[in-house]
Chain A
Amino acid sequence: MLSLHLALVALWAPIVARSPRVAGRLLRGFARAELGSVYTLRWAAVATPSVERRASYLRHADDEARHARLFDTRAAALDGRHEPLRADAEDLFEQLGEARFLAFLERAEGRGRREFAHYARAFERAGDTDTARIFRAIMVDEERHETYAAALLDLTPDAAPARRHALRWDVWRGARRMGTRLADAVYALCMALTYPLLAPGAWWARRRAFPPER
């Protein structure tokens, strides 16, 4: 699954790197993902019983916030759009428990690092060294995050089952996300088909006045 994802990234990255507009959208998506991670990590920092792990999560969140700013600033420089940076977040710590959360962190950071390596190479080849440099700088942090998450996980008795669970959960999460996108598309289609049926209601609503109430 992971290698399929990376293969798709390898195919997609050179296309992205050639278009500032598409690259801007991609980087803004990464900025949102990094900001979402900030929230997830801050919640984990509050929830963990260990001071050392709390410190690690806070440092990690600080890095992710910096990454979000880097991606967002670069996205604006590439496509000239300035959009409010907002993100959704999942309380993965609460959903997974700490060992599985660490296993997921290790996995997600590793995947991010490998994915960013493809993009860094693609942007270098396309001559956009500024964007490539951002990916390379963030990759260093991602490797450090992967390493600390793995080290903290290995200190727990459940490291191996947690890693297996993280793999299964990650696949399930990807499938769920695709399902959500599909559901969104079906919803949009249904709404588009039913929209013309509003015409009689529109006639009625226009006949009714809604003046300022006095």
Chain B
Amino acid sequence: MVAVLGVSGLYHDAAAALVVDGRIVAAVQEERLSRIKHDASLPWRAMKACLAEGAIAARDLDEVIFYEQPFVKLERILITTLRRFPRSFGGYLQGLKSQLRDKLWVLDRLADGLEISRGRIRSIDHHESHAASAFYASPFRDAAVLTVDGVGEWDTTVLWRGRGETLTRLEGLRFPHSLGLFYAAITAYLGFEVLGGEYKVMGLAAYGRANRVDALSQALRLNRDGTFELAPHFFDASGTSELGFTPALEGLLGPRRPPGRPWDLTDETDLAYADVAASAQQLLEEAMGAAARWALERAECDHLCLAGGVALNAVANARIAREVGADRVFVQPAAGDAGGALGAAIVGALQRGAARPPPMTTAALGPHVDSTGLAALADALGLSVGPCPDDATLAVQLLEGRVFGWMKGRMEFGPRALGHRSLLASPFDRGLREKVNRLVKKREPFRPLAPSVLRDATAPWFEEAPPFLTPFMTTVVPATAAARQALPAVVHHDGTARLQTVSDGPFAGLLEAVGHIGPAPVLLNTSLNGAGEPIVATATDAAAFVLAHPVDGVIVGDLLLSRRRVRRGCT
């Protein structure tokens, strides 16, 4: 038996993944279990959950692989501090503090915490973890791989060639020239939180006109050969600033938008910020597209795999799939740092002679839902528990306008709820989008909500459904005129939708039931969480969610958990 545990953490979105005998047994993000959004701490809970899924003890692991090289990262921080001297005191103080406090000793801490020998723990490069998570989980034997994120140790963008069981690094761009840092700076400029607010920029972009591209091109220069450069004086990449940009960027674009101010997209000022979002998005898409072409040319391959945080930009992925000339494109669902744990585990397993894992067809790699004890807990909380209605009954209730949480099977790996920990509603009523955004998720009204549809029923509603992207919601597709009319809650302002195609499992059964009584087998599907919370993981989390949010119930396995109805008018 070859068992390897991959671990990512200490920056954001910590995770663990377990590969046993060439099979991905489990992959879990720490935030789901710790309940701390984007939890960066070492993922002890996730490691434990992975080992429990694999029914093995830590002492039985052949190896534990951390997803980046701590000392190489320290080198980057030191060199950056030196090069920015005497303006780098903040980075010197804060950057070194976090390195010295825990990051440098991460391998020792893993050995201590797992109670295994230090010799069985090592680290690999950050971008190698990303590349492995995309290529080895893909259905391709031969592909170009492009990894794009904020920064790993030194790399920000790397091209790879994947052949069978090997990944070969071809070329790369290094810090500070980073699309991730560019988009993060724009995220902060628009008043959103970095590492989480990037999705908001993407959603907001649909409301703007890309009329600031020329100005932004001064900050992010695209070269003819597929490379790009950040103009350093616009960005603060020291890591000590929440903003990531300098006053020069405000000089270029105007004053930053104050964080926390409610958005009003009928207001000229906010529309101007939407224009900045649209321009940044367009520039990012052009840079990603050029890098993807560069990767395909250098690797001399027809297929393309994408990973790294920037590959979570579904709109850019769609443009790449459409325009760069790749036959097929695959984006691993946990493309960000969480996915690094998966890549690290696979690299370790392959190096120990295990077979390459079969292509990833599902993101449901986390713990199973367990409703044992839920009835008693619900009773103690004054909630109601009953048997889950059958699919037909539930479909009727959803189409009547009710909103239900849906927890079935194993939890998803990655940021998307894909029908295992989802919040579901009718896509046919525009008002439900408002209800879900404002009352349940408490988020900006411009945030899009996604449709889930039976795989074989996409044609009348969506113009395409790339088979390696839509199962994981890692792209957007154009909605047809019929869909714009019939599915107003899930078609975005620009006429696209972040489509999920579903082919089997309980969620497919529910969609089929919806299709029998409604115009299409489509549901509005968003993640089952409230504002600022990670996606619900366990039955206990579901109970807490029902307590705090105005939903009509949460289906937990075979049970329906809901608030008790209060009888009125009787004395």
A58 near B544 with CB under 8 A, answer yes
Q: Which of B376-384, B389-397, B474-482 contacts A (4 or more CB under 8 A)?
A: B376-384
Restricting to A185-214, which residues have a CB under 8 Å from any CB of B? 187-188, 191-192, 195, 198-199, 201-202, 204-206, 210, 212-214
B34 near A62 with CB under 8 A, answer no
Contact pattern, B 502-541, Cβ under 8 Å of A = 1, otherwise 0: 0000000000000000000000000000001000001010
A84 to B96, CA, bound (A): 23
Q: Which residues of B are found within 8 Å of A210, using beta-carbon distances?
A: 79, 83, 174-175
A195 to B93, CA, bound (A): 9
Q: Which residues of B are found within 8 Å of A83, using beta-carbon distances?
A: 242, 259
Q: Which residues of A are found within 8 Å of B544, using beta-carbon distances?
A: 42, 45, 58, 61-62
Instruction: Check B199 for interface membership: any CB of A closer than 8 A.
Output: no
A106 to B5, CA, bound (A): 40
A185, chain B: closest CB distance, angstroms: 12
A39 near B79 with CB under 8 A, answer no
A47 to B269, CA, bound (A): 49
Count how many chain B residues have C-beta atoms less than 8 Å from C-beta atoms of the other chain: 41
Instruction: Check A55 for interface membership: any CB of B closer than 8 A.
Output: yes
Q: Which of A58, A76, A202, A213 contacts B173 (CB 8 A)?
A: A213
B44, chain A: closest CB distance, angstroms: 10
A32 to B511, CA, bound (A): 41
Instruction: Check B81 for interface membership: any CB of A closer than 8 A.
Output: yes
A191 near B82 with CB under 8 A, answer no
A195 near B89 with CB under 8 A, answer yes
B36 near A212 with CB under 8 A, answer no
A54 near B259 with CB under 8 A, answer no
A38 to B229, CA, bound (A): 43
Instruction: Check B92 for interface membership: any CB of A closer than 8 A.
Output: yes
B543 near A58 with CB under 8 A, answer yes
Q: Which of B81, B171, B229, B376 contacts A198 (CB 8 A)?
A: B81
Nearest A residue to B158, CB-CB? A213
B36 near A213 with CB under 8 A, answer no
A202 near B82 with CB under 8 A, answer yes
A213 to B86, CA, bound (A): 26
Instruction: Check B547 for interface membership: any CB of A closer than 8 A.
Output: yes
A199 to B82, CA, bound (A): 8
B380 near A198 with CB under 8 A, answer no
B54, chain A: closest CB distance, angstroms: 21
A54 to B175, CA, bound (A): 47
Q: Which residues of A are found within 8 Å of B82, using beta-carbon distances?
A: 198, 201-202, 204-206
Q: Which residues of B are found within 8 Å of A7, using beta-carbon distances?
A: none
A113, chain B: closest CB distance, angstroms: 23
4 smallest CB-CB distances across A and B, nearest first, come from A82-B260, A202-B85, A55-B380, A205-B82
> What would 9 A/B residue contacts be, using CB atoms closer than 8 Å?
A39-B35, A55-B377, A58-B547, A76-B260, A198-B85, A210-B83, A212-B173, A212-B174, A213-B171
8 more CB-based (< 8 A) A-B contacts, given A46-B540, A58-B543, A204-B82:
A45-B544, A58-B381, A58-B540, A191-B96, A192-B93, A195-B89, A198-B81, A210-B83
